[in-house]
Structure 1
């Protein structure tokens, strides 16, 4: 059975929501979603379509928006009658009609809770037409749909069914969308990302494009830049360019080469390893993965990550405060999800000022790397801390991450980014079963175990003979078989933490979670959260690093 997949992307979603909340037309209003109260380097979460027409990318920095608008206004002034500007407007229609008006825009403060609520509302609209098992939320504003079984039911083509869904969303929310239709998940995504951009918009502003394997090769094999394609970033493009491979057609032809040719699939595998297989498939327009497989996928290893970009450069001491805060919140998150971890990974990125300031640069003797903007920056600090057993204890995890921090972070450098990962996650039930299984297994003893557990002086006759078993080894010299839980408690003895103490701490954590859920995350704070440089109080009022 031939498959039909649809990918739908809500157009400039955050900006469109903000426009609709103000009773404005998203397609006719210059609006950018960004917190102007932050620095000018803050990232814009969304830019309205009319504002993008001035060359502003969707994820620009606020200062880039201001610069582009300033340049556009300079051009308008030069073309205006008598080089005079007599006002300004945020509406594209008024700007098109009156050349004397300067371009203006609305800077809307992010409201993440509103966007999530609106996304849920739109997802519910899709569910009126599609069963949950046939739709996958790729992001807050984008979904994949397996429409194969629905076209016959509704008596529609893939194009008309996509239009039906888009119109239903538009009529209820005022938000328009772009859609791609393909014979596999990759092609519907590419049809939406690349093909729809060159398709005329309908009356509602929606753009819909279709691709199959053959039309993909005919229309997009020579398309540039190659970074427009899904999963091909600047790193991939740079490696490919070094081998004079610039398009998907180049990659497809390379994969056909004989083993004696310079260009063959072995060249791609040397460059990208196993990922070359996916790249080659996509070059030909193939994608074997289905929506059912995506939904049934369960990662072998689980982790939980907390990260933030600091609003200014932080000193060593202030960064240490934030690291503790982040770990304490991450530990609470583990308790809330019923998970345990036995490994904490810390990554701290340094600020550009460490090398732009002459005095600091002269003092720094460490390794230097290049950031995404081509600037020199000290190589980030990275370290791992292993816990004696799986736990969600705030004390144990905080002590662990601070030990890593003290070990790997340069106290003379300013920091800007922090990331903490809790690895090897297991549920409490899974860990209990693992402990019970290990406690039932016999323990392999060694001569050193026996000698270490003996209270009597070591005599020559007490040493084991070369025989595999000797009666002279009495039972009092044998170390007892211990469960993992007992071993862990013994290891924790140095830290004065027993199982009773850990259980009491867990009860406190659960009580804190109940209070926070009922009265808000800032209903209960620690003294650390009120110190200079602390960010937890502010972050508790955010979703995804932006105001809720």
Structure 2
């Protein structure tokens, strides 16, 4: 097909991208002994709030009512066929683990990449000797999950993770048997036909508008653009978009495996865009407190941190992720929060924030922290006593038994999340 890379140099693996169809809603359907494809179930963050977000909707709800993930509570019609439920995150996590354990029957851990709670990549190249070709393995996994969990999965098969993902999203999810296969040879016919261009993996509406301004309106246009001009305008992302338009992706799942440094992290998708610095800082403080508590519970301190900020999806600049080594290791909430806030203020470009991720890494046993010449020992001791007292009260009486005053201010999310799992109610009853 005249690719920018010689055919014999293109990486060819047998990769599956597997999605559990309408995962949250499907689990709720199975609980009620209803076939997931025949159910009328909507999972919503909070039934009492008109503006609450729909987290999942059964396929029939999407097709017949137009309600999908991201819709709002006030958009749900008053129809007796519809069952509206709040999420049971503990149950969803448990079922997710069951699905992952089925995947592990077919691939080694290093060939499994969990993309989200309802989606994963499997490199089955080495599995062929045991189970047959990639199509046979895909059908075996599909049937196994249905037989054991009564969940419906759709599968994209590709020569690399990119093609597998594109096959899933653009064909597999609507295919009669739920399976689609895209290879390099299919790129001109299938990849270049993806429309709109935002349906191409990795191209946001912001990038789409920018590409349109330079005359690139389709994936085919992108594949035939001057890659060096794209690199000049967008940096390495420009080259990535160009090669992706040719279906080229050098990712190998097992390369992401291997020894990993232990770290503790927390991520949160905000319920709205946060525009004001003081509100964003409140959330960063709350999240830092959660991670710091886990450090103390495991008897370790961090000497490195990383902060990830994602802007709202319509912003061309996606956000940033930066890490820094600390002057000394610590697990003190106030000290860690100070470092995270400085990192945020240094790199934030006044854009609306929608997602925050904090990471504490480079761990060592607590108690080995170096003294800080600029921090009085009595202040260290007061911080230590305060943190441990708060930890003990929360362990005994629950997370909402004690909280910091800033959590009552506009923007705070701690009290809404207290007692929740993954940001949603954990009750699976």
**By the TM > 0.5 criterion, same fold?**
yes
* Separation (CA, whole Å) in 1 of partners of 2:37 and 2:123: 29
Q: Structure 1 residue aligned with 2:332, among 370, 393, 409?
A: 393
Q: Name the counterpart of 2:374.
A: 491
Q: Name the counterpart of 1:162.
A: 138
1:332 paired with 2:293, answer yes
Q: Structure 2 residue aligned with 1:540, among 413, 418, 425?
A: 418
State how many pairs are aligned. 405
Query: What SS does the aligned partner of 1:151 have?
Result: helix
Q: Name the counterpart of 1:412.
A: none
Which ranges of structure 1 fall in alignment gaps of 5 or more residues?
71-87, 91-104, 202-206, 255-263, 350-370, 375-379, 410-415, 436-484
Q: 1:520 to 1:269 in 2, by over 3 A?
A: farther
> CA shift at 1:152, angstroms?
3.2
> CA shift at 1:129, angstroms?
3.0
Q: 1:124 to 1:425 in 2, by over 3 A?
A: closer
* TM-score (structure 1 length as normaliser): 0.62
* Separation (CA, whole Å) in 1 of partners of 2:297 and 2:341: 22
Query: What SS does the aligned partner of 1:149 have?
Result: helix
Map 1:72-91; keep pairs closer than 5 Å. 89-90=80-81
CA contact (8 A) 1:328 1:394 kept: yes
Map 1:339-350; keep pairs closer than 5 Å. 339-340=301-302
Q: 1:336 to 1:239 in 2, by over 3 A?
A: farther
Q: Name the counterpart of 2:23.
A: 13
Query: What SS does the aligned partner of 1:117 have?
Result: helix
Q: What is the Cα-based RMSD across aligned positions, in Å?
A: 4.3
Q: Cα deviation per residue 1:68-107 (whole Å; 9 max; x = unaligned)?
A: x58xxxxxxxxxxxxxxxxx652xxxxxxxxxxxxxx111
* Separation (CA, whole Å) in 2 of partners of 1:430 and 1:270: 47
1:512 paired with 2:391, answer yes
Q: Structure 2 residue aligned with 1:266, among 204, 228, 250?
A: 228
Query: What SS does the aligned partner of 2:181 have?
Result: strand
* Separation (CA, whole Å) in 1 of partners of 2:74 and 2:90: 26
1:3 paired with 2:13, answer yes
Q: Name the counterpart of 1:453.
A: none
Compare CA radii of gyration and give the structure with the larger one: 1
> CA shift at 1:114, angstroms?
0.6
> CA shift at 1:216, angstroms?
2.4
Q: 1:278 to 1:253 in 2, by over 3 A?
A: same
Q: 1:504 to 1:270 in 2, by over 3 A?
A: same
Map 1:300-311; keep pairs closer than 5 Å. 304-305=265-266, 307=268, 309=270
> CA shift at 1:143, angstroms?
1.4
Map 1:127-138; keep pairs closer than 5 Å. 127-138=104-115
CA contact (8 A) 2:191 2:219 kept: yes
> CA shift at 1:54, angstroms?
3.4
Higher relative contact order (CA 8 A, sep 6+): 2
Q: Cα deviation per residue 1:248-271 (whole Å; 9 max; x = unaligned)?
A: 2212211xxxxxxxxx11221122
Mean Cα deviation higher: 217-226 or 114-123: 217-226
CA contact (8 A) 2:206 2:314 kept: no
> CA shift at 1:223, angstroms?
2.3
Query: What SS does the aligned partner of 1:119 have?
Result: helix
Map 1:120-519; keep pairs closer than 5 Å. 120-154=97-131, 156-201=132-177, 207-254=178-225, 264-296=226-258, 304-305=265-266, 307=268, 309=270, 325-336=286-297, 338-340=300-302, 389-397=328-336, 422=358, 425-428=361-364, 485-486=370-371, 488=372, 490-493=373-376, 496-498=378-380, 508=388, 512=391
Q: Name the counterpart of 1:107.
A: 84
Q: Name the counterpart of 1:478.
A: none
* Separation (CA, whole Å) in 2 of partners of 1:108 and 1:335: 36
* Separation (CA, whole Å) in 2 of partners of 1:188 and 1:244: 28
* Separation (CA, whole Å) in 2 of partners of 1:135 and 1:192: 17
> CA shift at 1:542, angstroms?
1.2
CA contact (8 A) 2:16 2:155 kept: yes
CA contact (8 A) 2:273 2:353 kept: no
CA contact (8 A) 1:5 1:144 kept: yes
Q: Cα deviation per residue 1:289-311 (whole Å; 9 max; x = unaligned)?
A: 11111224869x98845546468
1:525 paired with 2:402, answer yes
Q: Name the counterpart of 1:261.
A: none
Q: Cα deviation per residue 1:405-427 (whole Å; 9 max; x = unaligned)?
A: 999x9xxxxxx978766567321
Q: 1:127 to 1:111 in 2, by over 3 A?
A: same
CA contact (8 A) 2:307 2:344 kept: no
Query: What SS does the aligned partner of 2:69 have?
Result: coil
Q: Structure 1 residue aligned with 2:69, among 59, 72, 87?
A: 59
> CA shift at 1:134, angstroms?
2.3
* Separation (CA, whole Å) in 1 of partners of 2:270 and 2:64: 29
Q: Name the counterpart of 2:5.
A: none
* Separation (CA, whole Å) in 2 of partners of 1:218 and 1:516: 58
> CA shift at 1:219, angstroms?
2.3
